[in-house]
């Protein structure tokens, strides 16, 4: 237990040196170390062959799945969803670049909606 306390004191000192952190108590460091140790014990280290077998088995599982037809979302639905997302992002004070991205996506959905709703000319129905 003496080595663990020495180690935890060293970890505590290193953590306390980090900028913008609150100092951790020795008890908190011991708890963190115990949780990390438990996590390592639960995660088994696999050999290359075991990794290949695991990945191959996971690939086989997906073969029995029937593909689902994708849902076709209209430009109007996308625009409405993006408008709602934009309003939510503004209410939650998201960063400016995130809000700008949502606006651009919403505007693009609107442009696509307008483009598909444009009135066709009679010449569009005849071969040129």
Taking 80 as the threshold, does the pLDDT of residue 125 lie above it?
no
Contact 62, 48 (CB under 8 A): no
The reported pLDDT for the residue numbered 10 is 75
Task: Tell me, rounded to whole angstroms, the distance of Cα 23 from its chain centroid.
Answer: 30
pLDDT, mean over the chain? 79
* Interatomic CA distance for residues 94 and 88, integer angstroms: 9
**Confidence label for 1 from pLDDT (cuts 50, 70 and 90):** low
pLDDT in tens, 63-105: 566 767 788 889 899 999 999 999 999 999 999 999 999 999 9
What's 93's DSSP letter? T
Global pTM exceeds 0.85: no
**Mean per-residue pLDDT for 15-43?**
71
Contact 82, 105 (CB under 8 A): yes
Contact 14, 31 (CB under 8 A): no
**Mean per-residue pLDDT for 97-123?**
84
The residue behind tokens 């599982």 is 61
The reported pLDDT for the residue numbered 61 is 55
Proportion of the chain above pLDDT 90, given as a percent:
24
Taking 90 as the threshold, does the pLDDT of residue 28 lie above it?
no
Contact 74, 90 (CB under 8 A): no
Residue 70's SS3 state is coil
């Amino acid at each position: 237990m003496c080595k663990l306390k020495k180690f935890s004191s060293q970890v505590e000192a290193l953590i306390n040196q980090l900028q913008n952190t609150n100092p951790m108590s020795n008890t908190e460091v011991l708890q963190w170390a115990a949780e990390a140790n438990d996590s390592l014990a639960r995660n088994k280290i696999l050999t290359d062959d075991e990794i290949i077998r695991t990945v191959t088995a996971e690939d086989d599982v997906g073969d029995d799945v029937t593909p689902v037809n994708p849902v076709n979302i209209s430009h109007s639905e996308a625009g409405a969803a993006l408008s709602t997302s934009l309003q939510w992002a503004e209410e939650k004070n998201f960063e400016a670049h995130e809000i700008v991205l949502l606006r651009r996506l919403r505007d693009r959905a609107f442009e696509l909606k307008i483009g598909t709703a444009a009135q066709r000319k009679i010449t569009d129905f005849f071969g040129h």
